[in-house]
Structure formats: structure tokens, C-alpha cells
């Protein structure tokens, strides 16, 4: 039997298989030649990755395209042993597709429900604001998240280019989300260093941090993460693909765990980085030196930190215990 897994950090459009992007581009007459060649996404650094991601996210046009993407991704995750997934969603993509935010949310919800009916995988959605679109867009995403009435949205997150602006500019968006009852996570300490993680802790007070790995550069900050029990959504394959670290030997996951930081394993944007959730578990064991017992503890941490009600959490823990 495959070991049970859980994923807290995956951007749904970032899970688009290249073959699906190619098929939709042909169907809708979109030129993807700058971004997709020989069945692989084309980018070479963080900025071109963000641009490539945006181009691929824009090939979706119909509700059924988004629904199929969510159902297919969750089906694959379940086949790899995942019992829980949090998908990062961007209703702005509904507008880009010529639909509406609600149509986008309906479609992803339909995909989630279909996957659950087939495989039993539990899933929640985390609303994304894109940092490089500026504070107004991110606040708009937070306002929509708390008012749209889709019950599977349980969290709010900011992704995008961490080098843009400062966290303080976005604090209001997180206040809106928190006041509306959503749990919070934020991309920090991926492209930028410990200062970015410290700002996130001070100004956003998140339940979790996306990546956060560069906190390792400041020992006092690592102690703070451990003391405060902040959970990191670590994506080792993504970090290597985006050259945050030159190779797995340089990756700080072991140092963070040894310092008592709570961590989970995630794929981020799997086909962009040549990875999958199952591959991240393999990487942790074969490249980063963790035992199966240790990766099982990371899955437990993911369930403990999942943005779900307590009854669902108990059910998920019961499934983990088998």
C-alpha cells in the first residue's frame, strides 16, 4: 500500500500537465510557442517562471476546463496515496477566461467533488492574491474570498513575486481575510531572505508559511519558528528548480527539522518543476536523508495544520492511523 500523504501547497493552474496546456491552446487558437516546447514548460529564472505560469494559466477558457484540471490533479494525488489536498485558487483566472469569479469557483468545486466521489480525497481551497499585481488586487481577492460563499474556501494566501513591495502594504488584505474567518498562509522566505519571513510573522501573523526555508539564514528566526509552532509548507523540488539552492545537499530541510521547526512536503507547481507530491516524499527520503517514519510525521503535521474543521481533522487522522 502507498504511504498516506497530504499536500498543503499546490497552485492548481501550476498543476496543468503540458499535454493539457497544448490541447487547450490548439482548441482556443492560443500561441504558446514561447512557453511550451517539446512537451516541457520553458522558463529559466524566477521572473520567467512567473511569466510562463501566467501564460499557461491563461489557456483555460471554459468552466469544464477548470473542473477537469482539478478532478484530474486530485485523482492523480489520490492514486499516489494522498488523503488530503489544499489547492491554491485564483478566481481572477475566471475573469481572464471570459467567465466570472463565481464560474471559476463553481468549476473548481465541481472538480473537487467529482474527485472526492471517486477516490475519497478530501480537499479545501486557499484563495490566492498575487503580490506582483499590487495591494489593491490582493485586497480584492481577500474581499471576494470572505464574501463569495463557497464553503470549501478555508484559507487565504499571497503568492507571486516576493521581491515586489513590502509585506506591510498587504497587511490589510490579510486583516480582511482573518476577520472573515479564514486561516492564513503567505509565500515568504523563498526568493527573499529571513527579513521577509520576519515581516510575515510580525505583520500577517500567519498560521503557516509557504516555503520559509530561507529563515535558516538567521538562527534566532529559526528558534522563533520552532517556539511559535509555525508550520512551513516546504517544496524541495521547487526550490532546486528555481535555484533557491544549487542542489539537494544544500537544501536546509534537515537543519530546520533538527531545530524543531514543524514542516510539511509539497509539490508547488509540479509539472513546472518536474515533480509530484509522491516525488517530494521520495526526495525527502533518498536525497535529504529522512526516514519513512520522519516523512510520516510530516504528513501528520500537514493534517494537524490543515485548514479544516476539527471533525474533518479527526477523520483524516483516523485514516492516517488506518
Residue 63, interface with Zn ion (CB under 5 A)? no
Residue 41, interface with ligand ADE (CB under 6 A)? no
Q: Was 11 annotated as part of a binding site?
A: yes
Cell triple for residue 103?
464560474
Binder among 53, 104, 144, 307 for ligand ADE (CB under 6 A): 53
Residue 269 · residue 235 · CB < 8 Å: no
Residue 129, interface with ligand ADE (CB under 6 A)? no
Residue 215 · residue 225 · CB < 8 Å: yes
Residue 264, interface with ligand ADE (CB under 6 A)? no
Residue 11, interface with ligand ADE (CB under 6 A)? yes
Residue 173 · residue 139 · CB < 8 Å: yes
User: Quick one: what does residue 125 bind among ligand ADE, Zn ion, none, with the CB cut-off 5 to 8 Å set by partner type?
Assistant: none
What DSSP element (H or E) covers 67?
helix 63-79
Q: CB-wise, 178 or 187, nearer to ligand ADE?
A: 187
* Integer Cα distance of 270 and 237 in angstroms: 9
Q: Was 211 annotated as part of a binding site?
A: no
Indicate the burial class of 106 (C-beta count within 10 angstroms; 0-12, 13-18, 19 or more): middle
Indicate the burial class of 309 (C-beta count within 10 angstroms; 0-12, 13-18, 19 or more): exposed
User: What does the per-residue mask of binding to ligand ADE show for 243-262, with x meaning CB under 6 A?
Assistant: --------------------
Binder among 139, 233, 269, 280 for ligand ADE (CB under 6 A): 269
Residue 190, interface with ligand ADE (CB under 6 A)? yes
Q: CB-wise, 191 or 296, nearer to Zn ion?
A: 191
Q: Which residues of 162-180 are buried (b: 16+ CB within 10 A; e: fewer)?
A: beeeebeebbebbbbbbee
Q: Was 132 annotated as part of a binding site?
A: no
| Residues 6+ away with beta carbon under 8 Å from 28 | 59, 61
Q: CB-wise, 71 or 268, nearer to Zn ion?
A: 268
Residue 233, interface with Zn ion (CB under 5 A)? no
Q: Which of 162, 190, 233, 280 is catalytic?
A: 190
Q: CB-wise, 35 or 273, nearer to Zn ion?
A: 273
Residue 108 · residue 70 · CB < 8 Å: yes
Residue 56 · residue 277 · CB < 8 Å: no
**Smallest separation (angstroms) from Zn ion to the CB of 16:** 14
Within 10 Å of residue 314's Cβ, how many Cβ atoms? Answer: 12
Residue 14, interface with ligand ADE (CB under 6 A)? yes
User: Which residue's C-alpha cell is 521547526?
Assistant: 261
Q: Was 269 annotated as part of a binding site?
A: yes
Cell triple for residue 156?
487565504
Q: Is 81 left (phi over 0), alpha (psi -120 to 50) or beta?
A: left
Q: Is 13 a catalytic residue?
A: no
Binder among 268, 295, 307, 320 for Zn ion (CB under 5 A): 268
Which parts are annotated binding residues for Zn(2+)? 9, 11, 187, 268
Q: Could you list the residues that contact ligand ADE (CB under 6 A)?
A: 11, 14, 53, 159-160, 187, 190, 238, 268-269
Q: Could you list the residues that contact Zn ion (CB under 5 A)?
A: 268
Which sequence positions are flagged as catalytic? 190
Amino acid at each position: 500500500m502507498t504511504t498516506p500523504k497530504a499536500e498543503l501547497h499546490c497552485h492548481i493552474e501550476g498543476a496543468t500537465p503540458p499535454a493539457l496546456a497544448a490541447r487547450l491552446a490548439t482548441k482556443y487558437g492560443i500561441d504558446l510557442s514561447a512557453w511550451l516546447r517539446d512537451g516541457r514548460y520553458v522558463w529559466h529564472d524566477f521572473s520567467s517562471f512567473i511569466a510562463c505560469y501566467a501564460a499557461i494559466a491563461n489557456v483555460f477558457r471554459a468552466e469544464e476546463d477548470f473542473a477537469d484540471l482539478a478532478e484530474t490533479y486530485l485523482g492523480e494525488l489520490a492514486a499516489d496515496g494522498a488523503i488530503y489536498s489544499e489547492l491554491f485558487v485564483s478566481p481572477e483566472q475566471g475573469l481572464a477566461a471570459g467567465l466570472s469569479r463565481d464560474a471559476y469557483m463553481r468549476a473548481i468545486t465541481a472538480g473537487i467533488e467529482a474527485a472526492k466521489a471517486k477516490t475519497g480525497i478530501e480537499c479545501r481551497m486557499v484563495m490566492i492574491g498575487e503580490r506582483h499585481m499590487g495591494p489593491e488586487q490582493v485586497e480584492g481577492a481577500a474581499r471576494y474570498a470572505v464574501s463569495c460563499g463557497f464553503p470549501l474556501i478555508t484559507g487565504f494566501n499571497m503568492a507571486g513575486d516576493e521581491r515586489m513591495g513590502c509585506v506591510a502594504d498587504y497587511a490589510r488584505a490579510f486583516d480582511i481575510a482573518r476577520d472573515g474567518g479564514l486561516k492564513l498562509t503567505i509565500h515568504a522566505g523563498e526568493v527573499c531572505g529571513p527579513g521577509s519571513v520576519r515581516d510575515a510573522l510580525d505583520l500577517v501573523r500567519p498560521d503557516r508559511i509557504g516555503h520559509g526555508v530561507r529563515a535558516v539564514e538567521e538562527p534566532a528566526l529559526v528558534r522563533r519558528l520552532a517556539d511559535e509552532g509555525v508550520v512551513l509548507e516546504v517544496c524541495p523540488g521547487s526550490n532546486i528548480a528555481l535555484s533557491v539552492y544549487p542542489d539537494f545537499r544544500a537544501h536546509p530541510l534537515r537543519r530546520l527539522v533538527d531545530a524543531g521547526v514543524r514542516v510539511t512536503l509539497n509539490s508547488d507547481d509540479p509539472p513546472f518543476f518536474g515533480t509530484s507530491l509522491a516525488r517530494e516524499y521520495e526526495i525527502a527520503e533518498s536525497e535529504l536523508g529522512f526516514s519513512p517514519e520522519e516523512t510520516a510525521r510530516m504528513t501528520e503535521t500537514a493534517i494537524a495544520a490543515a485548514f479544516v474543521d476539527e471533525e474533518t481533522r479527526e477523520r483524516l487522522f483516523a485514516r492516517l492511523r488506518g
